[in-house]
Structure 1
């Protein structure tokens, strides 16, 4: 399976603006800019999108592990905080609350750790990155 998104940027870093579009069109020419990334502006930013991806992926992975163990899930709510410092993402912190029938805290913590290590977005943080570029 492959998915894609496109970013278009026009102008300088501080005065320019960009638009993001995802394959599914959930994001469709969604605005992003210096202000939405580093100040308070209308639109999104890469760190917010990474946080959404990590929260969603981790929660689905935890759901899979809980289901494999035979537990009924009433809900799992995960918040992800991405910490960008000096141009580097230094951490992704997952905070969750869940209501799961018939599970001990020990087993729940074990599956949380397993999901944290095994969701594809967690693995991405150590992934090989490639690029192909052309000037037109």
Structure 2
């Protein structure tokens, strides 16, 4: 099975004074603004790093739900936040780290077993695999 999804970006102008817009195939984002200020100065708009974080947290959480199901478990709640770190490095900028922070409530299992299942989801998630060049950490709060 092969699934293809698309996202697109349009840009006009220079690096600092230009404006961009991001659109997703699903329409979840339609010409959503991004630019230098939203990426580097915290003004409203999106940026590639937060979109990577949203994609990674969504993929990991869904993968974990599937792994829990295979183990006969169902989560009451899985809340994942992915912090994507962008740093200035020699030659430009680089994503240097991703931290997945998971708050989970899963009845019927213990914390050690759950952490093992979560590690399996982190390793097997397609977005984690795509981002394998970046160190990815996982912090878990379990109840």
Length-normalised TM-score, structure 1? 0.91
1:40 and 2:42 matched: yes
SS at match of 1:112: helix
Structure 1 runs, 4 residues or longer, greater than 6 Å off: none
What's the counterpart of residue 93 of structure 1? 99
> What does 1:1-136 align with in structure 2 at a 5 Å threshold?
1-86=3-88, 87-126=93-132
Give the total of aligned pairs.
127
Structure 2: 5+ residue stretches without partners? 134-143
Deviation sequence 1:44-75 (CA, Å, 0-9, x none):
00000000001000000011000100012111
Q: Distance in 2 between matches of 1:22 and 1:71?
A: 33
Q: Structure 2: how far apart are the matches of 1:72 and 1:126?
A: 28
Root mean square deviation of aligned Cα: 1.0
Instruction: State the distance in 2 between where 1:92 and 1:24 align.
Output: 25
Distance apart, 1:40 and its partner CA: 2.0
Q: CA deviation at 1:5?
A: 0.6
1:13 is paired with a residue whose SS is coil
Note the residue ranges of structure 1 that are not aligned, 5 or more in a row: 128-136
* Displacement after TM superposition at 1:126 (Å): 3.5
